[in-house]
Structure 1
Amino acid sequence: MTLAAQAIGLTACGPVDVSNSLNPEASALTALGFTSDDLSAGKLTDPGPSASPDANSAPGAAAKQRRAGALRLRRALGRNVEHGEVVVQTKQGDKTIDVQRGTVTAIDDTSVTVKSADGFTQTWVFGKPLRVIEHRTTIQANAVKVGTEIGVAGAKDGSTVTANLIVIPLPK
């Protein structure tokens, strides 16, 4: 368990391949292994495949390759994280963010209940604002159905967790 916790902790170290404009919830889901494509609603074009950079082609290319390798490792570790809590530093001070990956077991107009693969179940109150992204498109929360696999992130205050971001990942 300690080794797993250390590995998960390492996944959050160093630069992450996300825009600085992402909110803390999006950053937390990215650390869990969700890709920037999963989080980008309204993206109209697919960047397509890119060639691997040659370490000798330009200054800094080797560093870019190392960062890309570290990002792949973070994503591989992150895809195995089922739920957790992180504290992130924001301009307004520290903010506790809960994250969870799992299956929707119940949903109504005010909340969603998610069950992770290990059996952990959490009910999330819908925040204002709430952003729900499915296949890179923003949708309404009432479009999410029981049985859907999601990632959810939001602020924790005491025992209340508030969903600010729900992501239905791209098919694998």
Structure 2
Amino acid sequence: MNVRSKIAAVAVGAVALGTLIGVGVSYADDPSTSPTPSAPASAAPSGQGHQADKAGAHARRALLKRALHGEVTLGGKEKTRVIDFQRGAVQKVGPTAITLKSTDGFTATYVVNGETKVRKDGQPAKIGDIKAGDTVRVVARKDGNTSTARLVAEPKAR
């Protein structure tokens, strides 16, 4: 792998990680907090901004499709937050918990409560709509040894 390829791979990885952190933050923040406006991005040379955006979006989607599970620690003004994420097959599901197993064998159980958003086929759903064997992704807020699901989503059927 040449130097340019290595630099590109690191840049794509950094952008993908930033996107994943952004998704985690959006689902982990308290509902009472609202996002702060960001500074505008600097303009790219004519015609290059759109192409770079398309390439970056494609690279992020490709990387996120491959991410099985992980944990991210986010800093904040008052405290840090730990966000767990996982993609896998539902092993068990009930009104208060969901257990997933990723293709690499990693298994985790997440608490489900009234604040957990559930989506199935891109539409709002209830935890009862998710069945054992379904492939879902979970984004959860970790507190000590407990991970509480903020999002349980089954992708749209293609």
Structure 1 gaps of 5+ residues are: 28-58
Give SS of 1:105's match: strand
Structure 2 gaps of 5+ residues are: 1-5, 29-44
1:165, 1:109 → 2: CA distance?
Answer: 14
The aligned runs of 1:68-87 (5 Å cut-off) are 68-87=54-73
2:153, 2:11 → 1: CA distance?
Answer: 24
Residue of structure 2 in register with 1:24 after alignment: 25
Aligned pair partner of 1:64 in 50, 53, 72: 50
2:50, 2:146 → 1: CA distance?
Answer: 40
2:73, 2:12 → 1: CA distance?
Answer: 14
What is the root-mean-square deviation in Å for CA atoms of aligned residues? 2.9
The alpha-carbon deviation at position 134 of structure 1 amounts to 1.1
Residue 127 and residue 8 in structure 1: after superposition, are their counterparts in 2 closer, same or farther (change >3 A)? farther
Structure showing greater Rg: 2
Q: AA paired with 1:81? A: A
Residue of structure 2 in register with 1:31 after alignment: none
Q: AA paired with 1:24? A: V
Residue-pair matches, total: 133
Establish whether residue 96 from structure 1 lines up as the match of residue 82 from structure 2.
yes
Residue of structure 2 in register with 1:138 after alignment: 124
Instruction: Encode CA deviations 1:29-86: one digit per residue, 9 max, x unaligned.
Output: xxxxxxxxxxxxxxxxxxxxxxxxxxxxxx7541121022012111111211100001
Select the structure that is richer in helix: 2
Higher relative contact order (CA 8 A, sep 6+): 1
Residue 126 and residue 91 in structure 1: after superposition, are their counterparts in 2 closer, same or farther (change >3 A)? farther
Query: Taking every aligned residue pair, what percent have the same amino acid on both sides?
Result: 31
The alpha-carbon deviation at position 103 of structure 1 amounts to 0.3
